[in-house]
Structure formats: structure tokens, C-alpha cells
Amino acid sequence: MTTLSIIKADTGGFVGHSAVHPDLLATAQEAARRAVGDGLLLDAHVASCGDDVSLIMTHEHGADSERVHGFAWDTFQETTEVAKRLGLYGAGQDLLSDAFSGNLKGMGPGYAELEFTDRPSEPVICFLADKTEPGAWNLALYKMFADPFNTAGLVIDEKMHAGFRFEVYDLFEEKRITFDCPEELYDMLMFIGAPARYVVHAVESRNLTEQAAATSTQRLSLIAGKYVGKDDPVMIVRCQSGLPAVGEVLEPFSFPYTVGGAMRGSHHAPLLPVSIPDAHTARFDGPPRVVALGFQITDGRLIGPRDMFADPSFDGARQQANTAMDYLRRHGPFEPHRLPLEDLEYTTMRALEARIAQRWQPMPEVATTMAR
């Protein structure tokens, strides 16, 4: 069995929340090189999207391994030290705990992990996003694994025709459930259409009983009890041979659907698919970005990455995203650009309510003139 783990954290932004400084990437690359040399990891690749560093790693220790999670935690401590020296913004932002204990659950860094027995050829896409929440993957996963207008294989590939099983987390109640699609599609959509609360955590093939996709599902604000930065999730999707083809896995991002998370974690904006050189944010701390790194995993080695969105066939999506961004931005502080009150990451509402509580009066029976 091989495990593919992506573990990520924002340990300091350059400039503001826009990107990762090259010295942080160099520090993480050096740590990864040592971990491969020491035999902890089979292979590793360091990548970034916006101000978040991702450690993409293959190993044989399984998911939730103390050694692999501990390595990531130590690496993020190192990059935080570099960020502090450079005075980068929000140094150590996602490290919410003082000490590592066993695994990263509830500690701040996000992770998606997938264990599999290597097929003769193992094409995988690693998606990294910035300025959004884990539910941002819901629409894309639905399209890849349940929508025949996206994925032709659901109709014409015998190995895919039985459909896929989705595991969904309720992040507010800390519960999970599985839905068998296609027959439970409508039930599932009732939940995953509300991505701030319900998040697809994993997808498996019903025919092959192989796990096909894994996402990072932690919500930083639910861990910290307050806004400390956006989650900026990652996702792994295995492709081909009874799973969606690479082109079917990329296709959902040809529509720059709207996600929560831009500017102070509190605005809806389109999800912009970009090349690796464009994986940083700018306008209104956004628009939220997604990059796709393609690998072939061979004997545990990460052959790649290929920069999958560095392609003119995504230019239309980028143009549409910019148009949608212009449209949403003109709403300023109004919904649906600003998130609804209950989903706002930042809020002055509690203090404001307390300050003006005494000034509210009952509405008059018949409103004629303004009350004095």
C-alpha cells in the first residue's frame, strides 16, 4: 500500500495574504529532501497556492501517521521561524496548538490522505486552493463522480456505470454519512449544496471498492472558535481505469463557480483555475484560486508535476471568473457578495448589537412619519 498525503498550512504571507516567500518554500524543500533521504518518505514535492505551503508526500505509514504528521508539523515550525525573521504577515497563522500530540487533527494544518494499492499506472491530480473553505470541493466532486454531463464514463464505461459512494461530513455536528449515487443523488445534494456545513470528505468507486478522492475537511474557525484565516483546502483525485479520466476530473473547473472565502474569509467570489505561476492572490485578496498538479505515481515516486490548468482551454473560465468578480464586487457590503450573517468569519455585529440595544423600539401600528 502507498499513502499519498497532502499536508498544508499558512505559516506566513508575502505580501499580506497573497503568496508564499521563496525562502519558506526552500526551507520546506530542504526538510522534504531530508525526510526522503532518511527513508521516512518515499517521495515529496513542495507546492503552494496563495499563502499556503503544501507538502505532497508518498510513504508507507498510512493515513494519520504520527511520524508523517509530526514531520509536517516540525517543517511548518521551521517555515514559521523563517517567516518571523522576514516579518511576513501572519507568521505561524495556521498553527493553532503549542505542541504536537500524535496527529494533526484539530491543530490547524489541513490534510487530505489517500491509501491505495498502486495500479500499473497511477495518474493522480492534487488540487490546492486559497481563500476558500473545504466545501468548495463539493460542486466539483459532484460533477466528477455523479454528473453524466461532466463525466462521460458514468454512462459509457462499464467499470463506472455502478456509480460512486460519497462520504459527507456535517462539520457543525461532527457527524458523517455515506450516500450511494446515482440513486441517492437528490438526498445528497440537499446537504452538499450547503458547503459551509456539509463537506464531501471522500469518494469511492462502488464497482472497484477503491477510494478515488480525498479532501481536507477541517474548518479553522470551528477549531479555534474564532476567525484565524481561511481553511484553504486541498484535494486528491485518482484518475482513469474505472475512475474518471483526467479530463473529466479537470472539467468541473471550466465553470468558475462561486465559493465562500474571499477578503477576510467573508465574501463569495468565483473560483479561478490558474497555472502554478499564477497561484497567488491579488484583487480583493482573491479571487479564490485553484491549481491542479498532475502526477503519475510509480513505485511511490511522484513523476511530475504537470501544471494542468496552464492551458488555453481554461482561458474561458478565467475570463468568466473576472466578469463574475466585477459583478459581485459591485455589491460591496451587500449579500450575496458578503456572506450571510451566520457564516461571516469577521463580525462587528455582536459589539454593535450591544452598543445600540437600547435604541430599538417596537414598530408602530401604522408607519407614517419617521420617529423622533
Binding-site annotation: residue ranges for beta-D-fructose 1,6-bisphosphate:
17, 89, 102-103, 131, 240-241, 264, 285, 346
Report in angstroms how near the CB of residue 230 gets to ligand 13P at its nearest: 4
Report in angstroms how near the CB of residue 104 gets to ligand 13P at its nearest: 17
| Contact track, Mg ion, 231-260, x by CB under 5 A | -x----------------------------
User: φ and ψ at 125, to 5 degrees?
Assistant: -115, 130
| Contact track, Mg ion, 200-229, x by CB under 5 A | -----------------------------x
Count of residues that interact with Mg ion, criterion CB under 5 A: 11
CA distance 328 to 90: 27
Alpha-carbon distance values, 257 to 130, 223, 260, 290, 299 (Å): 15, 27, 10, 12, 36
Q: From the candidates 8, 10, 94, 143, give the one annotated as an active-site residue.
A: 10
Report in angstroms how near the CB of residue 16 gets to ligand 13P at its nearest: 8
Return binding residues for Mg(2+).
10, 17, 51-52, 93, 130, 230-232
CA distance 321 to 271: 7
Confirm or reject binding of residue 113 to ligand 13P (CB under 6 A).
no
Confirm or reject binding of residue 230 to ligand 13P (CB under 6 A).
yes
User: CB within 8 A of 125, min separation 6: which ones?
Assistant: 236, 237, 239, 246, 249, 250, 292, 293, 294, 295, 308
Query: What SS3 state is found at 138?
Result: helix
CA distance 299 to 46: 19
Strand partners, 6: 56, 112
Pair type for strands 198-205 and 234-238: unpaired
Strand partners, 200: 168
Residue 227 annotated as catalytic: yes
Asked whether the CA dihedral 149, 313, 199, 202 is positive or negative, the reply is positive
CA distance 209 to 200: 17
**Which residue number, 30 or 311, has a Cβ lying nearer to ligand 13P?**
311
Return binding residues.
10, 17, 51-52, 89, 93, 102-103, 130-131, 230-232, 240-241, 264, 285, 346
CA distance 290 to 296: 20
User: CB within 8 A of 117, min separation 6: which ones?
Assistant: 1, 2
Report in angstroms how near the CB of residue 130 gets to Mg ion at its nearest: 4
Which residues in the 149-208 window bind ligand 13P by CB under 6 A? none
Confirm or reject binding of residue 96 to Mg ion (CB under 5 A).
no
Which of these ranges, 22-30, 186-194, 262-270, 311-319, lies near ligand 13P under the rule CB under 6 A? Answer: 262-270
Inter-residue contact 309 to 274 (CB < 8 Å): yes
Which of these ranges, 67-75, 258-266, 301-309, 356-364, lies near ligand 13P under the rule CB under 6 A? Answer: 258-266
Which residue in the set 17, 45, 61, 165 belongs to the binding site for ligand 13P (CB under 6 A)?
17
Which residue in the set 245, 250, 291, 317 belongs to the binding site for ligand 13P (CB under 6 A)?
245
Burial of 268 (0-12, 13-18, 19+ CB in 10 A): buried
Residue 230 annotated as catalytic: yes
Confirm or reject binding of residue 229 to ligand 13P (CB under 6 A).
yes
Confirm or reject binding of residue 285 to ligand 13P (CB under 6 A).
yes
Contact residues for ligand 13P (CB under 6 A)?
10, 13, 17, 50-51, 90, 93, 130-131, 229-230, 232, 245, 247, 263-265, 285
Active site residues: 10, 227, 230
